[in-house]
Chains A and B, each alone.
Chain A
Amino acid sequence: MPTVAEHLAHRLHEAGVRHAFGIPGGEVLAVMDALARAGIAFHLVKHETPGGFMADAVAHLTRTPGVLVATLGPGVSNLVTAVAHAYLDRTPMLVLTARIDPGVAPTYTHQIFDHGALLRPVTKATFTVGRDGATALVDRAVLLATADPPGPVHLDIPVRVASMEVERARESLPRRARVGLAPGGELDTLVGWLGRAERPLVLAGLGILHHDAHAELRAFVRRAGAAVITTYKAKGVVAEDDPAVIGGAGLSPVADRALFKALHAADLILCFGYDPVEMRDSWIQPWPTETDSAEIAGAPKDHVVHRTRLEFVADLKAALAHLSVLVPERAGRTWLDGTPAAVRTEIAESLRPPGARWGPHAVIATCRRVFPRETLATVDTGAHRILLSHIWPCYEPYGLLQSTGLATMGYGVPSAIGAKLVRPERPVVCFTGDASLEMVIGDLATLRDLRLPVTIVCFADRSLALIELKQRRLGLDNLGVDAPATDFAAIGRAYGGHGVRVQNASELEHACREALARDTFTLIEAVIDKAEYAQQM
């Protein structure tokens, strides 16, 4: 008979899981051992939260739940940011932690707090596994993590329970069918709108990624003649060199001014898997409520950030395939050469610095030129991302990994580790800021340990540039935003990779080409002036 840990490992393997991340403690050894014997590799990290970001990247790129393992007490408190990220970024994740045995708990206080209460506000559910019903509970956790919208589920496993024997599971996990659009009045209304819309606009978001619906979206957009704005995480669900794509939205007030022109000009707004959890407050109801509008999402809407006149709950892959058949051919009869093209140009122009100046814009443009089209990129939170989200074109779903719902710092390097681990044949580049890199710098050691040749481009401006801009706006003095320089090139070498500092485009281009050929990681410190960011705000 298998143990509880073995049943758990078996179910995770069945769900496609091949990688787990974390830091062991004496209390989770049985779980780790069972994972390894089931064929799930355990990767030791330096801090639990970066480990969770690695699991997040693996989950996205392999369409399987991420797995994060930690011990009790500080192991649990250290992983909170990763779990909050999975919660607000809608990542399916199993969070496996240890807890003290119920027999000891009443007479014990060392390292003890209530794990479940702590994680409840940032998980879909948190369960304590007991021997009774353990197999059903494990199955439920896996199903819940992957149910729409996906998210993290926490299993707290008492030390002795992990090794207790349970009945062998007879059935596999149930498979979910994709449910499309129900025929009827609402669907007829939508098809009617589509048939006469001259300026249809799609807002595409996380749901397209979750439901793997990018091919169906592309086909629909082509047939309906619709323009597409994506959220910044959904960049690439339609390749960004497609004339229908205006771009990724949500971060830059400068870009918003142009994008809102398209939202106001549109005569039909279509929210496809568009979850506003990624968006700043300027995206609260950004289009006129009287415009014809429809939403298709995987789960009923539980927010009022925006309203649509029609709402469908369906699988987006099935729904968009269905809708493509129903919509009359509109290609060539809509507005793509007009406002959408103008908005795209306006955004590009407004963010381009005068002349060929060295700065964040030149860093991103140079990298895009040097790194091949199939490159997977990750980007951290900060001033550099605002710019990058508009000038780094993406050509596939999950081509740019980032933390958007939680928008936490420190996501860039760990997610690049996860990406390279499961896509070793692809070049992987991470864009990060100096403060974000220093928040998770210990996991450069994980990059070395796993021998992953990732390129890290660090925007080094010795400043929390975005916050400094806000202090200026409020008329406050600089406080707590400036930091003396770190020698990042030396840090790269100290952690067993290659490190180089660049101060112009040709040095950067040379460094990138060398990095692509190298079999260790490369940390490129791009020294820039923080003043260059003012233009995007």
Chain B
Amino acid sequence: MPTVAEHLAHRLHEAGVRHAFGIPGGEVLAVMDALARAGIAFHLVKHETPGGFMADAVAHLTRTPGVLVATLGPGVSNLVTAVAHAYLDRTPMLVLTARIDPGVAPTYTHQIFDHGALLRPVTKATFTVGRDGATALVDRAVLLATADPPGPVHLDIPVRVASMEVERARESLPRRAMAIAIRAARALLREAAQVKMQGDRRETALAINESKCMSADVGFTVTDRAIRLAGGRGILRKYPLERWHRDAMCGPVMAPANDRCLETAGRILCGLEGKTLEFV
């Protein structure tokens, strides 16, 4: 089973991240180690804020979230200008810092201030990662950083939480799942076009019916997931999502309805005559 740090590194790699910048402290070593093993290079800098500016440039030029790593206390206070920059310059960025373990916190004051409260005014969100729900929280942070308008999201990771094991993520990120579905529908549509060019009437009818069915279903499920992802705002009239979803609802029922298309495909495969979406 992967650790919290490994899940985080996996998600960042999946989002296209290949470079992280920062200065280590004893408290972030597990996170750095996981990043390196996931194929994300760690670059040691001389001050956290310039490190954040490096991550910003990488984010812009590679269209991936920037990643900035720091330890607790002075590591966090040193990166504020970089985070304020990412906030006002709308750069997607994950800011990964360490925090003292909850078991020690009540009896400890050395180097301690409230990281989340400090960064809240200059981030889209700041989260403290606990073992419970850690994978969902990491996923949410990555999605939020890249959601419009992009910006910095802070993950404060207690030392021991970074090394705790979590369930392997079974479901890909919703965004990823949506992208895959859309690509699959497009591929099927392209295949149908190719088949038609080759001229076989039976094969063409099969491919076109399958493609129509798939595209209409994907349009519906993807817009549905997108609204869930956006939360309550997704159904507001001032955003296009709800309209896209209503439009997409027409797809499966628009004649020939998806069920009719499937019936045709089935008939053709059984050697019978199918009569929907015929093109010669």
Contact = CB atoms under 8 A, between A and B. Distances in A.
B88 A111 contact: yes
Contact of B33 (A81, A113, A464, A476): A476
A88 B46 contact: no
Q: Which of B30, B111, B114 has the most CB of A within 10 A?
A: B111
B29 interface: yes
Interface residues of A, number: 59
B44 A481 contact: yes
A276 interface: yes
Nearest to B120: A117
A407 B73 contact: yes
A480 B32 contact: yes
B29 A277 contact: no
A483 B118 CA distance: 30
B111 A407 contact: yes
A284 interface: yes
B122 A280 contact: no
A80 B80 contact: yes
Contacts of B77: 80-81, 83-85, 122, 406, 408
B117 A276 contact: no
Given A80-B118, A122-B113, A479-B33, A284 B84 contact: no
Interface string A79-109: 0110111011000000000000000000001
A276 B33 contact: no
A481 B45 CA distance: 10
Given A80-B118, A113-B88, A479-B36, A408 B25 contact: no
A485 interface: no
A474 B107 contact: no
B118 A118 contact: yes
B26 A467 contact: yes
Size class of the contact patch on chain B: 35 or more
Contact of A471 (B29, B80, B107, B117): B29
B33 A84 contact: no
A113 B118 contact: no
Contacts of A281: 104, 108, 110
B111 A77 contact: no
A470 B26 contact: yes
Nearest to A435: B46
A2 interface: no
B41 to A, nearest CB: 10
Interface string A439-458: 11100000000000000000
Nearest to A304: B107
B78 A81 contact: yes
B150 interface: no
B40 to A, nearest CB: 11
Contacts of B113: 84, 87-88, 121-122
A412 interface: no
B114 A474 contact: no
A471 B32 CA distance: 11
Contact of A277 (B22, B110, B117): B110
Interface string B79-116: 01101110110000000000000001011111111100
Contacts of B117: 117, 120-121
Nearest to B106: A304
A284 to B, nearest CB: 5
A85 to B, nearest CB: 8
7 contacts: A80-B81, A88-B110, A118-B122, A284-B107, A303-B107, A405-B109, A464-B44
Interface of B: 22-26, 29-30, 32-33, 36, 42-44, 46-47, 49, 73-74, 77-78, 80-81, 83-85, 87-88, 104, 106-114, 117-118, 120-122
